[in-house]
Amino acid sequence: MNPNMWYVELEIGGSKGLDPRTTASMFADARCIEEKNIDGEDCFIIKLCADPQTLNARSEGLEEIIRHVLFNYFG
């Protein structure tokens, strides 16, 4: 995947504004798992999993985060 070719517009809390490079870097470790037609548009579906070290660092006390996965599609 080439992050220079991605354009994603995110709206967070009513305001827009992550630049394309920052957005692409969020998905740098994602894997394309499927291509699919969604609402008449050819899209690819990506899967992004947090690594075990990050999960360990964010766990607190007796609570342990064992998995964090994000699926998204782009057309």
34 membership: H or E segment, kind and range: strand 31-38
CA distances from 75 to 8, 18, 41, 53 (A): 10, 19, 6, 31
Task: End-to-end CA distance of the chain: give it in Å, rounded.
Answer: 14
* pTM (predicted TM-score): 0.57
pLDDT tens for each residue of 7-58: 555 555 565 666 677 777 777 888 999 998 988 989 888 898 888 888 888 8
Q: What pLDDT, on the 0 to 100 scale, is given for residue 13?
A: 56
Q: What pLDDT, on the 0 to 100 scale, is given for residue 9?
A: 57
Question: Where are the chain's structural domains?
Answer: 3-74
Nearest to 48 by CA among 30, 24, 65: 30
Nearest to 7 by CA among 22, 37, 69: 22
Residue 1 confidence (pLDDT) above 60: no
Q: What pLDDT, on the 0 to 100 scale, is given for residue 18?
A: 65
